[in-house]
Amino acid sequence: MDKYISIKDLEDAALEVLPKATRDYYKSGATDEFTLAENKRAFQRIRIRPKCLVGIKGCELKTTVLGETVSMPIAIAPSAMQRMAHPDGETANVKAAQTKGVVYTLSTISTSSIEEVAEAAPNALKWFQLYIYNDREITKKLVQRAEKAGFKALLLTVDTPLFGVRRADVRNKFNLPKHLNLANFEGDMSTKIHESGEGSGLNHYVSGLFDKGLTWDAIKWLKSITKLPIVAKGVLRGDDAVRAVEAGCAAVLVSNHGARQLDGVPATIEALPEVVSALRGRDVEVYMDGGVSTGTDVYKALAIGAKMVFVGRPALWGLAVGGQAGVEKMLDIFRSELEYTLQLAGTPDVAQVTRDMVKHESEYAKL
């Protein structure tokens, strides 16, 4: 693992070893992939404004999210079907999160079950990503299983009445390899994803399963069946963030689904200020994901108002390269880069990373 010194190193190595269909599935975005590129480019348009001679005596990354202490404000985002990247899949990923003291989020569409993940890392801080199905009983049972297994929050995806058009998956007629199943389900719901039809097997799978008629009232229904805090994942507008909180969400995750849903939407770091502003004064946490690949990216998101930043693809790259050890290396890289950034910017703990620490490049262009 010592030869990997950046997330880009892990990505390059992973893309070399992954089979084409899996590689394309993990790395692709919707249609022309404009937003996919913008998720990263937008970070480059934000400048850090370091303070000098502040007397750096240490560096503290610990923070709390939904009342739980984490070692740093970086979490592992939900990503589907992780055993395509490594035989241990989600269980290796959650073990790494447990070792490094960060949140791990399990996808509904996982190749390791809720119970397998809970058993693999009983002391990890685990959240469960949830889709609401047409058959509410399916959703209810998933929630009950997650709660029983010790998961601490539900990450409800709100931007997916259906999956976006991912051309690479259509060209590859992507489907889950036959030796793997969707482990949280039984029967046809576990194996239907092996069928690609005329295009993507994933789109074929969710067709008819996801409830396209969802409104914010779904949050109220969800709260009626669980005591777990609910995080709305996929919000890009301030008014939607307010609706999520008024419906009962404890937090909002600013996300464009890794740029895999609707192309042409803003990069998440661009959408973050509007959401933070809309929720100012409310007792609610804001997180973000999308395009995060360096510690300085994390810093910029924290400065704009994110309480925690989720990383998805970087965890997959680490997983593909080295299983649990690869994911741990990924987290170590982020930690080291974030520590350097905090200290060099003159903000030795995350509480000091405030809005005045960054400016958009356009403000400097005025000079």
**Which positions are catalytic?**
257
219: CB partners within 8 A, 6+ apart: 156, 230, 232, 244, 247, 248, 249
CA distance 112 to 83: 8
130, containing H or E segment: strand 125-130
CA distance 234 to 256: 6
Among residues 233, 156, 239, 167, the alpha carbon closest in space to that of 203 is found at 167
Residue 239 CB-density burial (10 A; 0-12 exposed, 13-18 middle, 19+ buried): exposed
List Cβ<8 Å contacts ≥24 apart for 235-240.
235/158, 235/159, 235/275, 236/159, 236/265, 236/266, 236/268, 236/271, 236/275, 237/271, 237/274, 237/275, 238/274, 238/275, 238/277, 238/278, 238/279, 239/278, 240/158
